Amino acid sequence: MLDKLGKPSWVSVQRPINGVVQPTGESPQIALMLGSVIAEGFIAVEAEDANQVKQIGKSVLSLSTPLGVGAEVKKRAQAITDAADKKDWNGVRKELDGTLDDVKKVMVKLNSEALSQLVSLGGWIRGTEALTAVVGKSYTKDGAELLHQPVLLDYFERRLSTLKPKYKANPIVTRVQKGILEIRPLIGLTDDAEISEKSVGEINRITSELTKSINSKAP
């Protein structure tokens, strides 16, 4: 989706990471944080920001470790840093994709599939926040059409509804579930639906608040 927007000012929609992101809260929040940080990596690649990419590589390892997948991610994290040093942006993207795949596969093996879905969801939320920020600055119907993902939202809703009670009760997960329900009607319920500039702004507001909550130390 990010590629289809051409070359806007991605720097302006980054959430700069200072230092290494440390795990916060319980495992559901850490999984959402990991997804958010990986998405930030893709945004940093679009912005061609090597320093941020390197911070993100270290942060991915920091967040993966308490989820039990640190060993599998360690090589990927180093490869992300090495590719950033060379400004090999395609290489960075390849390693970020590989990181996400590795994390999800290992989590499934560890019977933590629910957490792997939260990693994906955290990434989607942050990516959508960035996308709506760009589209909102120079609204076009074609740009807004990239947000038309009802099948994906349906999938996330189903996955959230089947989480274990202990995960569902997590305050961050509760907020995310509420946010997805609020976003659902804004992205167009039919194939020919147009997403208005107002809806783009509202989606950005919701995803921005969710991203802040995911990465907050407050309960």
Task: Give dist(CA 26, CA 61) in Å, integer.
Answer: 17
pLDDT in tens, 165-209: 888 899 999 999 999 999 999 987 677 778 999 999 999 999 999
pLDDT in tens, 94-105: 999 998 888 888
Is pTM beyond 0.85 here? yes
Task: Give dist(CA 191, CA 115) in Å, integer.
Answer: 31
113 or 67, higher pLDDT:
67
End-to-end Cα spacing for the chain:
32
pLDDT (average), residues 73-97: 92
The secondary structure of residue 11, as a DSSP letter, is: G
Is the pLDDT at 6 greater than 80, yes or no? no
